Amino acid sequence: MTRTEERTETVGRLPGDRDMWIMVLGDMTIFAGYFVIFMIYRAMNRQEFLVAQQHLNITIGVINTVVLVTSSWLVARAVQAIRAGDVQKSIALVVSGGVGGALFMVLKGYEWASKIAAGHTNSDMFYSFYYVITGVHLIHVLIGLIVLGVVVRELRNPARRRAQMVEIGATYWHMVDLLWVIIFALFYVMR
Amino acid sequence: MSTATRNRDVWWMTWFFPAWYAVFGVIICLLTRVTPPPRPDVTAAEKVAFFAQHHLTIQIGFTLLLILLGGAAMTNGLVCYQIKRMSVGSVFAYGYIGGMSVGALPGFLLVTVCFLTAAYRPDRNPELISLLYDLGMLSYNGSLGCFTAAYLVLAIAILYDRNEVFPKWFAYVSIWQIITEVIATQMFVFPSGAFAWNGSIAFWLAVVVFSVWLGALIVLLRRAAEEESAKESAQMVAAQ
């Protein structure tokens, strides 16, 4: 297989484009920094973090994980649909993936509001990390919704319709999903 | 006129850009001692001692910075020039210049005046020295977020541009800048820990990302100037 065939081949090449992979790998490196620093502070204040963690609602965390993983799966199927040439199905799948992202933001907003109402503000060290890291992740979800919106706009325009564009959006959206799974494990599950 | 002379002004600015930041780095790191940042969680007496210890270099460094500060605006002008070469229209270029200039007041001038004022009368009430120390550092590091709008304008311009003046990945690096700098807002709430003005997340990770962004920008400005030279010489050959 040669590089010139890459528009039609689905294996043996980088999905999306190089620029988005730089974004994803660099962004994950920055998040790795946040996670390492969180772990260091957790190791220094183990008891305090464990007590604070008890007040997180793991059920809503699980629901949000399921919502985002499902959303990621829908976007992955959108890539398969556009590769098979089914534009309408691909658009529908990207839109439903985006609905998942919006639902995630609503649930997260509710979770934040209920935590703040219960007095778990950022004056507690565990919650200061919780708000900053989930907040930064929320910004990523918001950017992801914009990305998915751009993908839908490009798919609706026959002149600009490209499978690569859906792959770029999916690459970013999977990163958002992956980061959440790590945040969920570190903040909600790890004892 | 040869092609080398046609955009010589752009080349001058392209070299001036890293030179200015090198001088700026020496001033803030070695002379004025605001980077790496002094601790926020110290007593008034320790803040007075900080100014006593670095009295001379703070005065030299910040008066020097007052003279050189306009150079930062000139480096922004070069980025503005390259944005104007994009296919997006000059409104983004003006947006970048305007956004960057908003950050200059809290980001440089306020800390300069605060630290020079503190160094001016070292026998002042320690509580007032302490206030100038906090005000200067909160303004200097806490103002990181002021540049967010400029980075957003730059990222959008790069993503929309069809002339490929800058590669798309640089738009994404600018988005990292936005995110790390939004976190810098936490400095106003935390006197110590990861989110303080000397914190590992709020300050150090932001500085690493800024260094990557600045280093990439310096290289990309060079590349954009080279491409412009090549284009102009091709046009001249075609015209002959």
Kindly list the residues from chain A whose CB atom is less than 8 angstroms away from the CB atom of residue B172: 19-20, 22-23, 26-27
Cβ separation A132–B183 shorter than 8 A? yes
Cβ separation B179–A26 shorter than 8 A? no
- Residue of B164, B168, B185, B187 to mutate, testing the A interface (most A Cβ within 10 Å of its Cβ): B168
Nearest to B147 by CA among B117, B111, B184: B184
What is the C-alpha to C-alpha distance for residues A175 and A156, in angstroms, rounded to an integer? 25
Mean pLDDT, range B122-143, rounded to an integer = 95
Residue among A19, A22, A136 minimizing CB distance to B183: A136
Mean pLDDT, range B74-79, rounded to an integer = 95
pLDDT of amino acid B105: 84
B128 — pLDDT class (breaks 50, 70, 90): very high
Residue B199 lies in a domain: yes
What is the C-alpha to C-alpha distance for residues B70 and B16, in angstroms, rounded to an integer? 12
Chain CA centroid to CA A164, Å: 19
Residue B212 lies in a domain: yes
Nearest to A70 by CA among A99, A90, A49, A105: A99
The pair of three-digit structure tokens given for residue A98, joined into one six-digit string: 């985006």
Cβ separation B193–A125 shorter than 8 A? yes
Q: What is the set of domains in chain A, with CATH numbers? A: 15-189 (1.20.120.80)
Kindly list the residues from chain A whose CB atom is less than 8 angstroms away from the CB atom of residue B186: 122, 128, 132
Please determine, for residue B71, whether its predicted confidence score (pLDDT) is greater than 70.
Answer: yes
Which residue range(s) make up the domain with B116? 3-234
Number of domains in chain B: 1
The DSSP annotation for chain B comes to: --HHHHTHHHHHHHHHHHHHHHHHHHIIIIIS--SSPPPSS--HHHHHHHHHHTHHHHHHHHHHHHHHTHHHHHHHHHHHHHHHTSTT-THHHHHHHHHHHHHHIIIIIHHHHHHHHHHH-TTS-HHHHHHHHHHHHHHHHHGGGGGHHHHHHHHHHHHH-SS-SS-HHHHHHHHHHHHHHHHGGGGGT-SSSTTSTT-IIIIIIHHHHHHHHHHHHHHHHHHHHHHHHHHHHHHHHHH-
Looking up tokens 């935390």 gives: B190
Cβ separation B190–A128 shorter than 8 A? yes
Kindly list the residues from chain B whose CB atom is less than 8 angstroms away from the CB atom of residue A125: 193
pLDDT of amino acid B103: 83
Looking up tokens 């956004």 gives: B99
Per residue in B7-64, pLDDT tens?
889 999 999 999 999 999 999 999 999 999 999 999 999 999 999 999 999 999 999 9
Cβ separation A37–B201 shorter than 8 A? yes
B4 — pLDDT class (breaks 50, 70, 90): low
Kindly list the residues from chain B whose CB atom is less than 8 angstroms away from the CB atom of residue A18: 169
By three-state DSSP, how is residue A190 classified?
coil
Cβ separation A128–B195 shorter than 8 A? yes
Q: Residues in chain B whose beta carbon is closer than 8 A to a beta carbon of chain A?
A: 167-169, 171-173, 175-176, 179-180, 182-183, 186, 189-190, 193-195, 200-201, 205, 208-209, 212
Mean pLDDT, range B119-126, rounded to an integer = 95
Mean pLDDT, range B104-130, rounded to an integer = 94
Residue among A17, A22, A136 minimizing CB distance to B179: A136
By three-state DSSP, how is residue A14 classified?
coil
- Mean pLDDT, all residues of chain B: 93
Say if residues B84 and B90 touch (Cβ distance below 8 Å). Answer: yes
Residues of chain A with pLDDT under 70: 1-11
Residue B172 lies in a domain: yes
Residue B240 lies in a domain: no
Cβ separation A30–B182 shorter than 8 A? no
Residue B239 lies in a domain: no
User: What is the signed CA dihedral for A148, A151, A152, A156, rounded to 10 degrees?
Assistant: 180
This prediction's pTM: 0.91
Kindly list the residues from chain B whose CB atom is less than 8 angstroms away from the CB atom of residue A33: 201, 205, 208
Cβ separation B168–A19 shorter than 8 A? yes
pLDDT of amino acid B7: 85
Per residue in B210-240, pLDDT tens?
999 999 999 999 999 999 999 888 888 888 7
Residue B127 lies in a domain: yes
Cβ separation B201–A34 shorter than 8 A? yes
Mean pLDDT, range B74-94, rounded to an integer = 95
What is the C-alpha to C-alpha distance for residues B175 and A27, in angstroms, rounded to an integer? 10
Residue B29 lies in a domain: yes
Residue among A20, A33, A143 minimizing CB distance to B205: A33
Q: Which residue in chain B has the smallest CA separation from A21?
A: B169
Per residue in B189-213, pLDDT tens?
999 999 999 999 999 999 999 999 9
pLDDT of amino acid B232: 86
What is the C-alpha to C-alpha distance for residues B167 and B225, in angstroms, rounded to an integer? 14
ipTM over 0.95? The verdict is no
